[in-house]
Amino acid sequence: MSTIYLSQEGYDNLKTELQNLKSVDRPRVINQISEARDKGDLSENAEYDAAKEAQGLLEARISKLENDVANARVLDHQDMDTSTVHLLTKVTIKNMASGMEMTYAIVSEAEADLAAKKISVTSPIGKGLLGKAVGDIADIEVPNGIIHFEIIKITTL
């Protein structure tokens, strides 16, 4: 597995989620399986089947998070160069067509959250902004065509 670059906040969130899945969700699912097993014939027990499926999904998520935490590298954004857009920078862009300004944090896929204005470095917009400096125009291809963004400001997170 490849290295996953995260902010300290993203790393802490992954560890918290992993701990919650192991200490809260896993015992709850095990209890559901036990209760369903006590209800009799397992071959026709939908509750048992559902609980076993939930356990499989939970264990897969735990395994993925354990792998992510093991392969994570926390980047110190205080020492980041802000001359160009890269991972763990905050960039203000202006849509050249509408004049609308937006500010996004460029983060890893594991931390991406559009509602929190954090976009993945692997998203079309993230890829299009990488390496651009203040004043550059980024031509980003989206399903509706190409959007032109001007880089207004670059800061650290």
For 72, phi then psi, to 5°, come to -80, 145
Domain 4-74 in CATH 3.65.10.10: no
Q: Distance (Å, rounded) from C-alpha 122 to C-alpha 125?
A: 8
pLDDT at 72 over 80: yes
What CATH number labels 77-156?
3.10.50.30
Q: Distance (Å, rounded) from C-alpha 50 to C-alpha 30?
A: 12
**CATH 1.10.287.180 domain span(s) along the chain:** 4-74
**CATH 3.10.50.30 domain span(s) along the chain:** 77-156
In this prediction, what percent of the chain has a pLDDT beyond 70? 96
Range with the poorest average pLDDT among 40-44, 65-69, 88-92: 40-44
Predicted structure pTM score: 0.70
Q: What is the pLDDT of residue 149?
A: 94
pLDDT at 43 over 90: no
